[in-house]
Structure 1
Amino acid sequence: MSRDRLLAVLDADVDPLIGRGWVAAGTVVEARVDGTRAQVVIELGFPAAGVHEQLAERLRGVIRAGAGLDAEVEIRSRIASHAVQKNLQPLPEIRNIIAVASGKGGVGKSTVAVNLALALHTEGARVGILDADIYGPSQPRMLGSRDKPTSPDGKHMNPIIAHGLQAMSIGFLIDEAQPMIWRGPMVTQALNQLLGETRWRDLDYLIVDLPPGTGDIQLTLSQRIPVSGAVIVTTPQDIALLDARKGLEMFRRVEVPVLGIVENMAWHVCSNCGHHEAIFGSGGGERLAAECGSELLGQLPLDLRIREQADGGCPTVAADPQGELAQRYRGIARLAAARLAYGVRDAAFPSIEMTDD
């Protein structure tokens, strides 16, 4: 059995996370054949520690069926910087910035953002989270920290370390009950300082928890800050979907790839009888993704545990990383990071045909 045959077998297998064959995706860093045995090393462009062994076992089966070889398969990950907006460059110490946005408030965006960050960390990445909601910072409470940032030189701040994440928020600098009565320019200046004056250290991903809407903060982020991709959070109800669509189109206009849509509060399970009920409607996130040429990254339930864990300072992925709810967040994180690494679906435009009629 030749090496070329082994590579052909690998390239014929299309993994749903990557969307193409292993060779075409550039993931095969080693493929050797020694008699009846093969040695294969796959290097993913996204963190996926939770499924490394599962992927390896599946590939062993693919190689056995397609090439008749027993195989040793190693799966590892290496995360690179990805393209950002024109005229901007990735920031030092931050390979990728992912914005988590929503068109309106109350859809659970901050809870999704912190659990997405924790999920990427649990999958093996170095992750930070920036709370860009200057008026209503919530990450300090969700991360269970009221520590004040320290400064090594009077000009820069060390991030707060919580649950393995590097974190920064205006909430770490002010009293929890203090209102931020600032006009737009002061808010955007505060965002620039929180990002630029924090001593982030060797991050694969910085998750930016945006305020709802498409205002000053979003405009600053899209014009001045190198963003690799965005995730849109919505609930299934029609009014939330209308606003989510605006957020999605805003990122597309400024040439930031939308990695996909997360449908939060997709259903509720009664804690007494176990009945599933779609309180806010059903299928909204999937419809929005189809209409906008995007992808539904995953659905999350309206679950009392998610609220209690976030309010208690230990979000779901940190509280129970192997639990069913955490596995949903981890699946969303893997898929979003894979779309960043290997490309997202383009919006569907009608074809135009030119005739002589």
Structure 2
Amino acid sequence: MASEVARPENAPQHCPGTESEEAGKASACAGCPNQQICSTAPKGPDPGIALVKDRLEAVQYKILILSGKGGVGKSTVTGLLSRALAKSDSEKNVAVLDIDICGPSQPRVMGVVDEQVHQSGSGWSPVYVDDNLSVMSIGFLLGSPDDAIIWRGPKKNGMIKQFLSEVDWGKLDYLLIDTPPGTSDEHLSAVTYLSQANLTGAVIVTTPQEVALLDVRKEIDFCRKTKINILGVVENMSEFICPCCQKSSQIFKANTGGAEKMCQDLNVPFLGSLPLDPKVAKSCDNANDCFEEISDSPVLTALENIVKNLTAKCNEK
């Protein structure tokens, strides 16, 4: 798999991969803008893989949070899951790693947008949200939240390598890795660097409508091709909860049965559904802890069930 996932940005379809002895020399390399770089670069396994393995040895469960399409609430679900896991047992240590390089959302979602990262001899120190909940994101390294990250694939991949190998998490029970939508450079880099780190698996977030499920099927195929264990699918925004009367209604109609039916068809675990509660959305936008602010929300009740199912899947691993 290494030669496949180490393909450079804009590589031709039959790219031999940067670790191959044929890198930059094969017929498929003709015309590739990276041909000269690949032909002269050192070959062999990326030493970063071993560094990541050593750094994450004290992390029990390492979970990728994926989505096929943007806008399904993946980052919000990641933040809610991390808070729910941390609050379910104060003895458990939970962390979130935000590798959505161009759209880092976790500093805002977790309510630590004004914090800064500190570096010591043991590496970068994550930002603590609670005593047992921490987060790391490139958002902490920007001069302003409005600064754009305009990087090509190799630079983004280098940043992901740094996050995985240089953050001093300490001993963790859960590390949730928030990824960008799709199946692109960031995902391939994460899979490569975690290939020897005993990755627990992936949670895939979707919404009920078919246009989102189409892309989630591709995400499931990506996991199977890269041999990532699928812990389950979370259906977000399954219904809308009116903030006035508390009645529910469907905004994204599940014309084909929604995520649960798709999971049955593809033999994938279904972890549960989360309703859309405007009060929770507002709480996250305002960088507040919705567990303290609106503890009676049906979203939090649904989260309890999802966390129960997720922890059971992790324990099976």
For the aligned pair, the TM-score class normalised by the smaller chain equals: 0.7 to 0.9
Compute the displacement of 1:314 (Å): 2.2
Aligned position for 2:298: 324
Contact 1:118–1:318 (CA under 8 A) maintained in structure 2: no
1:165 aligns with 2:133: yes
Compute the displacement of 1:322 (Å): 6.5
Q: Greater Rg, structure 1 or structure 2?
A: 1
**Residue deviations 1:303-352 (CA, integer Å, cap 9, x gap):** 10121111111243454457532222122112112112125xxxxxxxxx
**Partner amino acid for 1:135?**
C
Q: 1:93 aligns with which of 58, 68, 88?
A: 58
Against the structure 1 CA distance between its residues 274 and 143, is the aligned structure 2 distance closer, same or farther, given a 3 Å change threshold? closer
CA distance in 2, matches of 1:108, 1:158: 27
**Residue deviations 1:46-100 (CA, integer Å, cap 9, x gap):** xxxxxxxxxxxxxxxxxxxxxxxxxxxxxxxxxxxxxxx9xx9572221221011
Aligned position for 2:105: 138
**Partner amino acid for 1:201?**
G
CA distance in 1, matches of 2:288, 2:248: 26
Against the structure 1 CA distance between its residues 171 and 271, is the aligned structure 2 distance closer, same or farther, given a 3 Å change threshold? same
Q: 1:148 aligns with which of 116, 119, 137?
A: 116
1:310 aligns with 2:284: yes
Compute the displacement of 1:287 (Å): 1.3
Secondary structure in 2 aligned to 1:96? strand
Gaps of 5+ in 2: 1-48
CA distance in 2, matches of 1:318, 1:252: 38
Q: 1:207 aligns with which of 176, 197, 211?
A: 176
Aligned position for 1:47: none
Aligned position for 1:218: 187
Against the structure 1 CA distance between its residues 318 and 100, is the aligned structure 2 distance closer, same or farther, given a 3 Å change threshold? farther
CA distance in 1, matches of 2:305, 2:247: 24
CA distance in 2, matches of 1:216, 1:191: 10
Compute the displacement of 1:273 (Å): 4.1
Aligned position for 1:54: none
CA distance in 2, matches of 1:322, 1:192: 40
Matched residue count: 256
Secondary structure in 2 aligned to 1:148? coil
Compute the displacement of 1:251 (Å): 1.2
Contact 2:115–2:127 (CA under 8 A) maintained in structure 1: yes
Secondary structure in 1 aligned to 2:279? helix
Contact 1:142–1:310 (CA under 8 A) maintained in structure 2: yes
- TM-score normalised per structure 1: 0.68
- TM-score normalised per structure 2: 0.76
Aligned position for 1:252: 224
Aligned position for 1:278: 250
Against the structure 1 CA distance between its residues 319 and 185, is the aligned structure 2 distance closer, same or farther, given a 3 Å change threshold? farther
Against the structure 1 CA distance between its residues 117 and 197, is the aligned structure 2 distance closer, same or farther, given a 3 Å change threshold? same
**Partner amino acid for 1:168?**
M
Against the structure 1 CA distance between its residues 296 and 159, is the aligned structure 2 distance closer, same or farther, given a 3 Å change threshold? same
CA distance in 2, matches of 1:251, 1:317: 32
Instruction: Write the mapping of 1:341-356 to structure 2, written as runs, cut at 5 A.
Output: 341-342=315-316
Compute the displacement of 1:272 (Å): 3.6
Gaps of 5+ in 1: 1-84, 344-357
CA distance in 2, matches of 1:259, 1:276: 28
Q: CA RMSD in A?
A: 1.9
**Partner amino acid for 1:161?**
Y
Against the structure 1 CA distance between its residues 326 and 270, is the aligned structure 2 distance closer, same or farther, given a 3 Å change threshold? closer
**Residue deviations 1:172-213 (CA, integer Å, cap 9, x gap):** 110211000000111111111122111101001100011000
**Partner amino acid for 1:244?**
V
Comparing 134-143 and 248-257, the one that deviates more: 248-257
Contact 1:264–1:301 (CA under 8 A) maintained in structure 2: yes
**Residue deviations 1:26-63 (CA, integer Å, cap 9, x gap):** xxxxxxxxxxxxxxxxxxxxxxxxxxxxxxxxxxxxxx
Aligned position for 2:205: 233
1:263 aligns with 2:241: no
Against the structure 1 CA distance between its residues 224 and 104, is the aligned structure 2 distance closer, same or farther, given a 3 Å change threshold? same
Secondary structure in 2 aligned to 1:95? strand
Contact 1:269–1:303 (CA under 8 A) maintained in structure 2: yes
**Residue deviations 1:201-245 (CA, integer Å, cap 9, x gap):** 100110001100000011111122132110000000101001011
Contact 2:243–2:277 (CA under 8 A) maintained in structure 1: no
Q: 1:115 aligns with which of 80, 101, 110?
A: 80
**Partner amino acid for 1:142?**
V
Q: 1:194 aligns with which of 163, 167, 178?
A: 163
Contact 1:266–1:300 (CA under 8 A) maintained in structure 2: yes
